[in-house]
Chains A and B, each alone.
Chain A
Amino acid sequence: MASVTMTKTASPKVKRQSEFARVMKQLSKNKIAMAGLVILIIECLLAALAPLIMPYGYAEMDLTQTFATPSLTHLFGCDDMGRDIFSRVLYGGRFSISIGILAVLISVVIGMIIGALAGYFGGMTDNILMRFLDIVQAIPGMLLMIVISAVLGPGFVNTIIALSVSNIPGMARMLRAQMMKERDNEYIEAAQSINCSKMRIIVSHLLPNCLSPIIVQATMGVAQTITMAASLSFIGLGVQPPAPEWGAMLSAARSFIRQAPHLVIFPGLAIAITVLALNLLGDGLRDALDPKLKN
């Protein structure tokens, strides 16, 4: 099911190339959003090329350098085991960014399926799906995430699953609302009258028209998910040490808050900058995708 949705939505995208170009043009006028995009690209490059750039290995210990303050040899200083924080923050970007993107992708795909079914068919299907989401959403999101990751156990993949499950209800609800708005349009009636299959109507007529709010929500969602992932590793449930995930680094730094406050600063700054950049880009995308602002 998931793969069908993915491949079919991809095909109209090719035809919509001009639409993509229009959005990019609109976006490039927005300097703040472009700043966000540039920061993100740089961060992704740094994380991807981390092994080449890092001055030290992320797990490389130098016990003569424990708690070294920031200097030219160790830009961000060293932690309690003499590991270079600059290298660790660089490498940690790999975990945080990929967890954020993958978790949101999964929740978008599953949320799309649920939302599309509920929004298009309405009635009984809608009622059952939405009541189920009501129940899931009555559990505070953070708590749901903690319980799921406790059930699955810590680790990279399990963290992604826990995060995407707690993101699904929001995504599904948004797509449902969007579908309900779109399905009464005349072009859908036209498609129905020429005997288009339901699957085809949903996938190739409705979904492309519901994409804009999803793209915006997904961009913002990645930001939120990165913070959530860091929170999970902060309480010891997410990615496990010695992997230099930013939240896990903060969690370790917490014990040395009196001797070495500089340990706390850089991983948190990395999270904040990433989240800020994603939000800037999301805001810009919202404006660029808004049909009211066309031309």
Chain B
Amino acid sequence: MIRYIIKRLLWMIPIILGVTVIVFLLMTFCPGDPAQIILGSTATQADLEAMRVELGLNQSRLVRLATYMNDVFLHFDLGSSWITKVDIASTIADRMPRTLILAVVTLLIAYGLGIPLGIVAATHQNKWQDHISMILALIGVAIPNFWLALLLIIVFSVNLGWLPAMGVGTGIAGLKYYILPGLSNCAGALANCARQTRSSMLDVIRADYITTARSKGVPERSVIYKHGLKNALIPIITQMGTTFGRLLGGAMIIETIFSLPGMGEFIIDAVNNRDYPVVQGGTIVLAIAFSIAMLIIDLLYAAVDPRIKAQYSAAGKKRKKVKANG
């Protein structure tokens, strides 16, 4: 098991290096001269030249890439923003928690509502409860999150005035700033969760051990929750992991709409301002966070299902065998 974890962590190194190279090269092909954008249209030719030298833009792409990789991976320095001059690493340290909180709030809403909805649908298969849950799920998948965000702002901020439409707060009271973004971001995840819960509950409910439990007189409640749900959870957890990973990067537009200063807003602003170091640094950190999230989910998966744990432990041996045969 530990070997598996180490192998996965080591494998992250080439992936992150690859991500860095791809994003760096992509950004260098962006149209528009960063020096011009930083200095504005009134800058003289000499100023522009000086700025280009300062930013290192006069060197070739490969030299710039090598310098950047050296700074990032050997000195752990993500550099500073071209526009605001702030240190990127510390800004990310400020902003990343907000993106994480938003992802967690979204997941809590989505799975807190989605799992019960799925269970109700599965235990009342083909009755009205099932149909209503699945219609809700279909609608949830279809609604674009940024549209839902606008609708929620109209209802809860503009008309009712219950919740703030933008910004962040501190402490526990600050959580209210995450409710609307979380709600607008959760529709798709909620719908997927409900559908997944329904189908995996339906698979489990037909299993022999459920019939056994019922026949020995276990109360229905406990059959569903203790015997059924526990076993149905595995695919739900896997899906939760993928959803969480997607939320880390996918909340960008929601963050922009609610002016929530997280990673997404940071990167979108930087893309619009041609602030290359911020885009690169942000992407690298998000890719690392994403990879770690995926690893944790795989481990969680093993923790829930002993069969998978055995598979991971055996994976090393198996691969050797395959090589020997092939």
Closest beta carbon of chain B to A219's beta carbon, Å:
13
Nearest opposing residue in chain A for B250, CB measure: A142
Interface status of A258 (Cβ within 8 A of chain B): yes
Neighbouring A residues of B144 by C-beta, 8 Å: 227, 230-231, 247, 268, 271-272, 275
Q: A138-B291, A235-B268 are in contact. Are A258 and B158 (CB under 8 A)?
A: yes
Contact B16 A138 (CB under 8 A): yes
Contact of A141 among B19, B143, B246, B256 (CB under 8 A): B246
Contact B150 A253 (CB under 8 A): yes
Interface status of B22 (Cβ within 8 A of chain A): yes
Contact B138 A279 (CB under 8 A): yes
Contact B271 A150 (CB under 8 A): yes
Q: A139-B287, A264-B150, A276-B139 are in contact. Are A150 and B256 (CB under 8 A)?
A: no
Interface status of B111 (Cβ within 8 A of chain A): no
Contact B142 A147 (CB under 8 A): no
Contact A250 B30 (CB under 8 A): no
Interface status of A254 (Cβ within 8 A of chain B): yes
Neighbouring A residues of B248 by C-beta, 8 Å: 140
Neighbouring A residues of B53 by C-beta, 8 Å: none
Contact B23 A151 (CB under 8 A): no
Residues 1-48 of B at the A interface (beta carbon under 8 Å): 14-16, 18-19, 22-23, 26-27, 29-31
User: What size tier do the contact residues of chain A reach?
Assistant: 35 or more
Residues 263-295 of A at the B interface (beta carbon under 8 Å): 264-265, 267-268, 271-273, 275-276, 279-280
Contact of A279 among B26, B142, B150, B271 (CB under 8 A): B142
**0/1 per residue, B281-298, Cβ < 8 Å to A?**
001001100110000000
Contact A257 B150 (CB under 8 A): yes
Contact of A135 among B15, B139, B141 (CB under 8 A): B15
Interface status of A136 (Cβ within 8 A of chain B): yes
Nearest opposing residue in chain A for B25, CB measure: A151
Q: A138-B290, A264-B151, A279-B141 are in contact. Are A146 and B246 (CB under 8 A)?
A: no
Closest beta carbon of chain B to A68's beta carbon, Å:
18
Neighbouring B residues of A150 by C-beta, 8 Å: 30, 271-272
Contact of A250 among B146, B153, B256, B271 (CB under 8 A): B146
Contact B138 A135 (CB under 8 A): no
Contact B272 A236 (CB under 8 A): yes
Residues 110-156 of A at the B interface (beta carbon under 8 Å): 123, 131-132, 134-136, 138-143, 146-148, 150-151, 153
Contact A146 B147 (CB under 8 A): no
Neighbouring B residues of A273 by C-beta, 8 Å: 142
Contact A134 B15 (CB under 8 A): yes
Interface status of B267 (Cβ within 8 A of chain A): yes
Q: Which residues on A are within 8 Å of B, measured CB to CB?
A: 123, 131-132, 134-136, 138-143, 146-148, 150-151, 153, 223, 227, 230-231, 234-237, 247, 250, 253-254, 257-258, 261, 264-265, 267-268, 271-273, 275-276, 279-280
Q: Which residues on B are within 8 Å of A, measured CB to CB?
A: 14-16, 18-19, 22-23, 26-27, 29-31, 138-139, 141-144, 146-147, 150-151, 153-154, 158, 245-246, 248-250, 252-253, 256-257, 267-268, 271-272, 279, 283, 286-287, 290-291, 326
30 A-B pairs with C-beta separation under 8 A: A135-B14, A135-B15, A135-B22, A136-B22, A138-B16, A138-B290, A138-B291, A139-B19, A140-B245, A140-B246, A140-B286, A142-B253, A143-B267, A146-B252, A146-B268, A147-B26, A147-B27, A151-B31, A230-B146, A231-B144, A234-B253, A250-B150, A265-B151, A267-B147, A268-B144, A268-B151, A272-B142, A275-B144, A276-B138, A279-B141
